[in-house]
A and B are shown apart, each in its own frame.
Chain A
Amino acid sequence: MMMAGKKLNSLQYLGQFAAYALFALLLGYFSESPKYRHMEEGKAVIKLSISHAGKIVGKCRKPTAEELAGLPRNMRMREICPRERSPVSVELVTNGDILYRETIPPSGFQKDGVSVVYKRFAVPAGDYLIEAKLKDQLGDERYDYVTKKAISLKPRQVVVIDFHPNKNGFIIN
């Protein structure tokens, strides 16, 4: 006699039912519960999002005769311009308090890309005087773009501060 075939008894069937029920309970419950609180009630969100290329660092110059002679005819330019761009400094002030201040380097190996900043701030709902500042060139300490706007934030409201140099700088909406 080797191993006898096992016949399930009613207790085992009951156990299987319980196991499947537990499996269903586990899936059904944890697929949506417990609820998760991402943000407290009564708060609003300020999103600061900027993608802006700083000014070119350095000035263009005329190539020397030797440099021109060393280049193929189709690559001979009137001016040689540096590619590196200036870091972009950003400051965000709400009701007189600095919420964010950072200098963001340009992207890319040659430092010739845009400077990108994205920040999300949860703040209590209420009235705010927002002051956004940006400087995109080396040297002078003053900000090149400054925008002030008074806003009233409702709970859960999202306000976006974006930057478009062609549209007079910051856009707050």
Chain B
Amino acid sequence: MSGYTHNLFLSALRFVEKGLGAVFTDRFNPFYYLGSLAFYFFWIVAVSGIYLFIYFETSIAGAYQSVEVLTVEQWYFGGVMRSLHRYASDAMLLMMGLHLYKEWVTGRFRGARWFSWVSGVPLVWLLFAAGIGGYWLVWDELAQYIAVLTAEWLDWLPIFSESMARNFLNNSWVSDRFFSLLVFLHIGIPLALLLGMWIHIQRISQPMTNPPKRLALGTLGTLLVLSVIHPAVSQPPANLDQSVTLINFDWFYLHLYPLLDLGSPEAMWLVTGLITFGLFLLPLLPNKKRNPAAVVDLEHCNGCGWCVADCPYAAIRLRDRTDSLPHEEEAWVNSKLCVGCGICVGACSTATPFRKVGIVQPGVDLPGEWLEKLREEIYEKARASSDKSRIAVFGCQHSAQEKLPGNDALMVLTLPCIAALPPSFIDFIFSRNIADGVLLTGCRESDCFHRRGVQWTEERIAAQREPRLRDRVIRERIRLCWCGDSIGELKDAVTAFADELAQQTSEEAGTE
């Protein structure tokens, strides 16, 4: 895909995110919880589905009637549950599609993230199979259409000795036994989907499978209101002796079905096969921006485990000491899982720039003595400035600090992730009188490219998480700006912060 097209897709995503961020705030922006919202809708579908199953009759004659009884006679609860079941499954598919789009367009499928991406692809098939199978069970005209078209589609595969479509030739050909199989599949496929979702999140630590309570209540309320004012209803009962002509269509799940009408099963298999194949192959695309994996320096690792607690990809673990130092355990980096975000370096208890002799030597570092080079860069930029740099701006690879106009009063440094900065470096900047203020910028709140960088940084500075920023550091001289790649917002934040610092300085001078 060309850079222009990619930028177009990315801009569209950012446009919607920005709009939602303006009304929901970044902390509760639904587009930052697409995966967890999909999980959440799954549970709504499961709970409502269990209720429907209690009343559902697994027979050709009884299926339609039992759903009608639920919808009409028990509209106040059964009907609402049915509607909730449909709308939540549509919502789950929508969230999954948006989640996939976002992960793709932001490049979050590369490197160590390949596993989550690849394990997510079968989930698309499973969700479609579960949803379409659900429509089949109602046994109305839509079910009839789906049954005939799906059977014809599957018949193209040279794996069945008999034609599946023969089961739906006319009313006399459909059997209750086949219908029982469908019910079994509609329970089995969602269970397989759940298993797949569990596998999908295995390679990340502390996965977010629940949206914030505010979003959960908001979306549930929306689905309930929709279920009451616009309940899901059946279409006329299926009659295989007559063909379906005009039907109400669920475009979320069935948008590819017209291909079967317009083209052929081959066209449908070609489209779905190519999409699936392409999705599987996407992580193999060359990754030019890949950061090198972190390395452990045993001589300086005390096995504290802070890096293990903070790694968002479960790429570090503690193991028994392999040297003679008097610590019980040591950190070990699985380079296949490590994305080189440097969050472990920021978490390292021995990562301190306050060394009079020698270089900065943390227990875990990025290759090439990265942390020492960061300290050197700070010194270098401070020396290069004609005047003291008033604000030191640290930003991640996904934010806009490098677009800030050249200014002697600004010292700009870029890190793989904002949480790669050990809090001791902030203390160091003030202690050495390198800057009056430190501005940390990074991805949007709740949308950190490396999942937890923003959260860990906030908690470290608030002294709620190890390594804590020392109490002696004046928090008013630190500004956090989680504005992603928005240069406008960053400029405004820098200007406002500079004004505040100037005011603080003049107030301090006045006090003295």
A interface list, Cβ under 8 A from B: 1-3, 6, 8, 11-12, 15-16, 18-21, 23-24, 26-28, 30-41, 43-45, 47, 49, 51, 107-108, 113-114, 116-118, 120, 122, 156-158, 160, 162, 173
Contact = CB atoms under 8 A, between A and B. Distances in A.
Contacts of B252: 30-31
A124 B148 CA distance: 20
B166 A49 contact: yes
Nearest to A25: B226
B165 interface: yes
A23 B25 CA distance: 18
B247 A38 contact: yes
A19 B163 contact: no
A40 B7 CA distance: 42
B240 A33 contact: no
Contacts of B169: 47, 49, 158, 160, 162
B238 to A, nearest CB: 12
B229 to A, nearest CB: 8
Contacts of A12: 22-25
A19 B20 contact: yes
A30 B170 CA distance: 30
A19 B244 CA distance: 36
Closest 7 CB pairs of A and B: A15-B23, A36-B249, A32-B248, A118-B163, A24-B226, A156-B242, A20-B222
Contact of B152 (A23, A118, A160, A162): A118
Nearest to A9: B23
Interface string B161-179: 1110110011001000000
Contacts of B22: 12, 15
B242 A158 contact: yes
A158 B478 contact: no
B429 to A, nearest CB: 16
Interface-central residue, B145, B170, B254, by most chain A CB under 10 Å: B170
A11 B19 CA distance: 13
A12 B475 CA distance: 29
A2 B478 contact: yes
Interface of B: 20, 22-25, 27, 30, 86-87, 90-91, 94, 145, 148, 152, 155, 158, 161-163, 165-166, 169-170, 173, 218-219, 221-223, 225-226, 230, 232, 240-252, 254, 257-258, 261, 458, 461-462, 475-476, 478-480, 482, 500
Contacts of B173: 160
A51 B162 contact: yes
B245 A24 contact: no
Contacts of A26: 94
A40 B246 CA distance: 8
Nearest to A18: B23
Contacts of B245: 37-41, 43, 156
B251 A39 contact: no
A79 B244 CA distance: 53
Nearest to B87: A27
A4 to B, nearest CB: 10
9 contacts: A1-B475, A15-B24, A26-B94, A31-B87, A31-B232, A32-B250, A33-B249, A38-B247, A49-B165
B86 to A, nearest CB: 6
A92 to B, nearest CB: 15
B246 A37 contact: yes
B87 A28 contact: yes
B152 A113 contact: no
Given A3-B480, A8-B25, A31 B90 contact: yes
